[in-house]
Amino acid sequence: MTERPLRLGVVGANPTVGWASRTHLPALLALPEYELTAVCTTKQESAEAAAQKYDAHKAYWNFRDLVNDP
């Protein structure tokens, strides 16, 4: 039986700068045990760019919205 991947949402997922774009996200995306489902930054534009870059299903620019979305 194959286990389903752990679905993740990453806060601070700026697509161009920061730890997430340089280390965390590339590492997580390389592991089949994880599925990136949501990203969050402080601005709508960068959140949507991050979702597109990392193939995340959802983009948030308020971390509370991400946390409250089942």
Amino acid 2: pLDDT: 67
Amino acid 70: pLDDT: 83
The three-class DSSP label of residue 37 is strand
The whole-number mean pLDDT for each consecutive block of 10 residues of the chain, a chain of 70 residues, reads: 87 92 93 97 97 97 96
What's the pTM value of the predicted model, to 2 decimals?
A: 0.89
Amino acid 55: pLDDT: 96
Amino acid 5: pLDDT: 95
Amino acid 30: pLDDT: 96
Q: Within a 10 A sphere around the Cβ of 37, how many other Cβ atoms?
A: 18
Q: Is 33 left (phi over 0), alpha (psi -120 to 50) or beta?
A: alpha
